[in-house]
Chains A and B, each alone.
Chain A
Amino acid sequence: MQKKSKTIFTAVVTVLFVLSVSYFALLAPTTAWFYEQDYTTANYQFEFGNFNMTEQEHSQVSQTTVPLRAATRFADTGEVLFDEVVHVVKVDVANTGAVKGQVAVSVSKNGDNSPDLPSWLKWYVCESSSASEIAEASVTNSINQTKGNFKNRIEAMLTTAGVTTQNYNTFASDADYETYNATAITALNANNAQPIAVDAGASKIVYVVFWAEYGMLAGENVGTEQNSVRFDAATDAVTLGDYPVAIEFTASPYTGATQNISVTNTMETAYNVLIYLNGSETPYKQSPANQFSGNIAVAAGATVNIPQPVGTSFKLVLSTNTGAAHLVNTNDTGTISGQYDHIVTDTVSTHGNAYSIVATQASQGD
């Protein structure tokens, strides 16, 4: 009986022991954000994992030259040489940390105080999990060449955005083409504003595709057109030359979808706005520093877009306070009762948030 009791006791204790160890074996991990880790970049490799939170961002700028062989049109179903004339920058991105992250790409002009790219220089961002998934097209100069991978991807992106690609020859007028192009470029900009998610421990290849948009290259080496590739008939050259750009990769914790906080200045002079995110007392700064500093300049007649994760609470402040202008929600009629607003608080919606700087009416004031 005693032996039997001992046997049962041993068995019970063993089972409880295994259960106890299993409890610790199945513990949920508590990982954490952003402890400092050195990152290395070599040419077009960018590694990030756990981020240096001093700047709340971890960025790397690659200064490079984009050789533009010719102008082309991305919004053209007949275009088959698109992949040949674009310049592709391929960057290996690796997340060596324990937290899912995301990488945002921004492009500005390099070596110039003016950060803005010329309107005709377009760029498109896409990703691949492996080099074999998307091969950089090697297209011969033949009108019968099948469209390359990047052109296909851009057309798929346009379709998803509700913009049907259209053959150039079907436009009734140049004005129709310009209207269509503007819509397509809006979809392109929205695509480029979306960060690319990279799981913890995973890597991706990010492609930044550059080209000179045909319809916006007025007066540049205009010559005989052939399959939408423009070249200079006088010199028989199909290149437009090199253009210096600064490509910035900014890594941050994964926050999901982003939308724009857009501010349109309807006034005849420039105004500045400040944005405070998630109750922060420090104004938001978006790299590169010469593009969005604490004060965000909105030129007369211009629109500035600041992409932010959906659900982000923010305070938008018209920091140039002359009394002559105020902020309105673009979707509103603009009617202000009593005081004018130079502070707006809101949350980034799934459709983005649009505001305008408009003139203060004589009857309004502090």
Chain B
Amino acid sequence: MRRVSILRIVRNVFLIVMLLVIAFTAVVLLSGAKAFAVASDSMAPRLHRGDVVFVRHADFEKLAVGDVISAQFPKEDGIFTHRIVRVDAKKQQVYTRGDHNMSDDPMPTDASHIIGKLWFSLPYLGFISFGIQNYTLIYILLGVAIALIALRFVITLRRKTES
């Protein structure tokens, strides 16, 4: 009886965690925000490697000095997240700088390359995407899923045995 209760508690805790994660993800997706994993410390101490930034679209006219934005590199693939230090409304460009950098970025960013303005960030969540490259986390995720299903079967089996 006692063992079944512990199993049930573990399962319920798992369920609650999963529901929270699902709900959080749903809110992010429904809000239209985009998420990126911070891969460098150029925005330290505000953002660190491993953080996840959530950005939402903002009209160019609403961007101001001090805003942190995510944008595409002008000439190649990739996304960077830096702080606006100057807005050129005439040219529809912004000049940016990483908080941890010694000077401004070498070229301005066109409005068309801006993905969004920082909404909020979460620490450490980005390491999930870093870890996935080694397939480690895939195996962990599969293990968790299998463990949950196995737990369910064990509980069901125990009930049948007792009844």
Contacts and interface: CB of A to CB of B under 8 A. Distances in A.
Interface of A: 3, 6-7, 10-11, 13-14, 16-36, 50, 52-54, 56, 97-100, 252-256, 278-279, 309, 311
A110 B149 CA distance: 73
Contacts of A21: 21, 128, 141
Contact of B129 (A26, A34, A50, A309): A26
Interface of B: 15, 18-19, 21-22, 24-25, 29, 35-44, 52-53, 70, 75-76, 78-82, 91, 98, 100-108, 125-126, 128-129, 131-132, 137-138, 141, 145, 148-149, 152, 156
A31 B40 contact: yes
Select the residue from A13, A19, A22, A30 with max chain B CB neighbours within 10 A.
Answer: A30
B79 A25 contact: no
B41 to A, nearest CB: 6
Contact of B106 (A27, A100, A253): A253
B149 A14 contact: yes
Contacts of A31: 39-40, 78-80
Given A3-B156, A14-B148, A26-B132, A33 B106 contact: yes
Contacts of A34: 42, 98, 101, 105-106
A7 B152 contact: yes
A74 B2 CA distance: 87
Q: Which 10 A-B pairs have the closest CB atoms?
A: A32-B42, A30-B36, A17-B18, A35-B42, A20-B25, A29-B39, A25-B132, A31-B39, A53-B103, A27-B37
Contacts of A311: 75
B15 A56 contact: no
27 contacts: A14-B145, A14-B149, A16-B22, A19-B25, A21-B21, A21-B128, A21-B141, A24-B25, A24-B37, A25-B128, A27-B128, A29-B39, A29-B78, A29-B126, A31-B40, A32-B43, A33-B98, A35-B40, A36-B100, A52-B102, A53-B103, A53-B106, A98-B40, A278-B107, A278-B108, A279-B108, A309-B75
B25 A23 contact: yes
Nearest to B79: A30
Contact of B149 (A11, A54, A97, A254): A11
A23 B22 CA distance: 10
B146 to A, nearest CB: 10
Contacts of A52: 102
Contacts of B29: 23
B101 A35 contact: yes
Given A21-B21, A21-B128, A53-B104, A30 B137 contact: no
Contact of B128 (A11, A14, A24, A254): A24
B47 to A, nearest CB: 9
Nearest to B82: A32
A27 B105 contact: no
Contacts of A3: 156
A56 B78 CA distance: 20
A95 to B, nearest CB: 13
B126 to A, nearest CB: 7
B148 A56 contact: no
A82 to B, nearest CB: 37
Contacts of A28: 36-37, 79
A53 B128 contact: no
